[in-house]
Amino acid sequence: MMRDDSAIAWVEGEIVPAREARIPLLDHGFLFGDGVFEGIRVTSAGIFRLEDHMKRLETAGRAVGIEPRDGYARVREIACETTRAWGPREGYLRLIVSRGVGALGIDPDSCPEAAIVCVAAGTVELSAEKEARGLDMITSSLRRPAGDVLDPRVKSLNYLNNVLAKREANLRGADDALVLNALGLVAEASATNVFAIQANRLDTPAVTDGALEGMTRRTVLEIGAELGFEVGERSLGRFDLYAADAVFLTGTRAGLVPVGSLDGSPISQSARPRVREIQSIFETRQVELSVSAG
């Protein structure tokens, strides 16, 4: 993926081109992945599900003990400031709260004040070929850490597990990786949620199996129920994906993305019209659920 030269960043009270933004070397987010973040969709109408994102960010911050000096209300203001600078166009916000600058060691008490950064960049466009065929996926040899190691509901800055899964997919000539948990059940893709349609069921892995409670995921579940699907969060294995009538991924930056194959075996496309129906409603819903940045 090429660098997005249009990207901007809010750093230390100023909006600058992202390529010029700098953070201190002793920031614990940079040194240790010690922080939390949100990936947020921006539409022509504002910020998608802003309050839901802020609630999730604040909860994650509370879970790891990070509290900005002026509270999360100030973090919300920074997201809005960055969005206003980005303008009324499609985009993606990466809103980061790190533990801040401290000693070179891991002691969190050495960090007197949390640091906030917000980046705005363009969305990811799927090629026409990939839209038609779907992504080629492999099953990663890595496993998603269990909830008693790191709760998947905490969007921490430590994404090494995800990065290595994506690298494995790249090395094996695939577009993305399916990540399983220690029991061999589907958790998610490298950085997106997984959905499967079979007959009139619309299923996605449960949080207890290692899935993130994604905002796009939440919206798709709501839309599925409105369309009459029997929606559910349940344990899925690789067999369930092979047995499905369609499989797709959901993520804030990517939207809804179809899957065409897994480990070299094709995934059915018979329910793709239903996926397109969900996608069409989702595109409208994004605007409807967006909050003006003021």
Partners of 194 in the β-ladder? 249
pLDDT of 197-247, one tens digit each?
Answer: 999 999 999 999 999 999 999 999 999 999 999 999 999 999 999 999 999
Q: Tokens at residue 232, please?
A: 């559910």
Q: Which of 89, 121, 153 is the last residue of a domain?
A: 121
Given the structure tokens 């893709």, which residue do they identify?
A: 189
The answer to whether position 64 is within a domain reads yes
Q: Same domain for 134 and 205?
A: yes
The answer to whether position 1 is within a domain reads no
The answer to whether position 293 is within a domain reads no
The per-residue pLDDT for 46 is: 97
The per-residue pLDDT for 147 is: 85
The answer to whether position 21 is within a domain reads yes
Q: Same domain for 166 and 101?
A: no
The per-residue pLDDT for 149 is: 87
Report whether pLDDT(138) > 80: yes
The per-residue pLDDT for 152 is: 86
The answer to whether position 164 is within a domain reads yes
pLDDT bracket for residue 254 (50, 70, 90)? confident
Q: Same domain for 75 and 195?
A: no
Q: Which domain holds residue 266?
A: 128-288
Q: Same domain for 117 and 134?
A: no
The answer to whether position 216 is within a domain reads yes
The per-residue pLDDT for 25 is: 97
What percentage of the chain reaches a pLDDT higher than 70?
99
Q: Which of 101, 121, 141 is the last residue of a domain?
A: 121
- The domain that holds 113 is classified in CATH as 3.30.470.10
Q: Same domain for 225 and 163?
A: yes
Tell me the mean pLDDT in the region 257-279. Answer: 98
Total-model pTM: 0.95
Q: Same domain for 111 and 133?
A: no
Q: Same domain for 78 and 24?
A: yes
Q: Which of 99, 121, 143 is the last residue of a domain?
A: 121
- The domain that holds 152 is classified in CATH as 3.20.10.10
E strands, the chain, are: 8-11, 14-17, 35-43, 46-48, 91-98, 115-121, 135-143, 176-180, 186-189, 193-198, 201-204, 230-233, 246-251, 255-262, 265-266, 290-291
Distances (CA, A) of 73 to 29, 47, 186, 227: 21, 15, 35, 36
Domain count, the chain: 2
Q: Same domain for 280 and 205?
A: yes
Find the range with the poorest average confidence among 1-15, 45-59, 91-105, 174-188.
1-15
The per-residue pLDDT for 3 is: 62
Q: Same domain for 152 and 284?
A: yes
The per-residue pLDDT for 244 is: 98
Is 168 within 8 Å of 141 (Cβ atoms)?
yes
Q: Same domain for 187 and 230?
A: yes
Q: Same domain for 110 and 214?
A: no
pLDDT bracket for residue 195 (50, 70, 90)? very high
DSSP characters for 198-266? ETTEEEE--GGGT----HHHHHHHHHHHHTT-EEEE----HHHHHHSSEEEEEETTTEEEEEEEETTEE
pLDDT of 95-129, one tens digit each?
Answer: 999 999 999 999 999 999 999 999 999 998 889 99
pLDDT of 43-90, one tens digit each?
Answer: 999 999 999 999 999 999 999 999 999 999 999 999 999 999 999 999
Q: Same domain for 90 and 161?
A: no
The answer to whether position 179 is within a domain reads yes
The answer to whether position 3 is within a domain reads no
Say how far apart CA 10 and CA 98 lie, in whole Å. 14
